[in-house]
Amino acid sequence: MRRQSALKAVRGGALTLPAIVILASCGSSSSGGPTGSAIPRCTTADLTVALPGPVPSGTSQRPVALTFTNHSSTSCSVYGYPGTQLRSATGTTWDLVRSPLVPPTTIVLAPGAAAHARLTYLPGDSADNLVFTPTTVVVIPPDQRTSRTVPWTGGPIVKQDEATHPGTYISALAPGA
């Protein structure tokens, strides 16, 4: 009986306790600057999203940087994968799978600073029946609910949306443009 109440108390307070420990370690350094200050998450409104154009052509797999730039007046942070969907002119969509090749890390973006996610794609021949021809990329920054849309200029890609290991995918965010 006593053990069950202790478990209920731990389960009920498990999320609160670490927050208290983290907040207790915040403060200022001896130089007066903040240490461990919580940097707020970047919202969709804080970020501009861009793809380079034109996207390189060819038939081998191509990486392009999907760049997120903080255009707000304060620092903010990003962590994880952007939600990334390719859309065709007819409204057909393809949600990109996430690649584990880049481990997620917290990135603090000062005003004007950027992070990027690598969008890797496999170009297709428009004469092939197994191609998808996107016209836009719809992007949702990590932990957000609103999206940004950028034009896709890379032409058709090989349609592998149901493949176990598709040639088109998105990485976690990494520092820099």
Q: Are residues 87 and 8 in the same domain?
A: no
Q: Are residues 101 and 157 in the same domain?
A: yes
| Residue whose entry in the numeric block shows the structure tokens 């995918």 | 169
Residue 90 scores a pLDDT above 70: yes
pLDDT in tens, 99-135: 999 999 999 999 999 999 999 999 887 666 689 999 9
Q: Are residues 19 and 72 in the same domain?
A: no
Q: Mean pLDDT lowest for which of 4-8, 18-22, 48-52, 166-170?
A: 18-22
92: domain CATH number is 2.60.40
Q: Are residues 29 and 93 in the same domain?
A: no
Q: Are residues 85 and 152 in the same domain?
A: yes
Number of domains into which the chain is organized: 2
Q: Are residues 114 and 141 in the same domain?
A: yes
| Stretch 34-41: mean pLDDT | 69
**What tokens appear for 73 in the block?**
């007046």
* Non-local CB neighbours of 100 within 8 Å, separated by 6+ positions: none
Separation CA 37–CA 40 (nearest Å): 9
| Stretch 12-19: mean pLDDT | 34
- 100-133: b or e for each residue (b if 16 or more CB lie within 10 Å)? eebebeebebeeebbbbbbbbbbbbeeeeeebbb
Average pLDDT along the chain: 80
Closest by alpha carbon to 105, among 130, 82, 124, 79?
Answer: 79
Cα 52 from chain centre: 17
Q: Are residues 67 and 130 in the same domain?
A: yes
Instruction: Give the predicted TM-score (pTM) of the model.
Output: 0.75
Q: Are residues 62 and 29 in the same domain?
A: no
% of the chain exceeding 90 in pLDDT: 59
| Residue whose entry in the numeric block shows the structure tokens 């992007």 | 139
Q: Are residues 138 and 96 in the same domain?
A: yes
Q: Are residues 92 and 12 in the same domain?
A: no
Residue 40 scores a pLDDT above 80: yes
Classify residue 77 by burial, with Cβ atoms within 10 Å: 0-12, 13-18, 19+: middle
Confidence of residue 160 (pLDDT cuts 50, 70, 90): confident
Residue 68 scores a pLDDT above 70: yes
The boundaries of the domain holding residue 110 are 44-175
Separation CA 113–CA 70 (nearest Å): 6
pLDDT at 7: 36
Confidence of residue 58 (pLDDT cuts 50, 70, 90): low
Residue 63 scores a pLDDT above 80: yes
Q: Are residues 94 and 165 in the same domain?
A: yes
pLDDT at 22: 29
Q: Are residues 53 and 29 in the same domain?
A: no
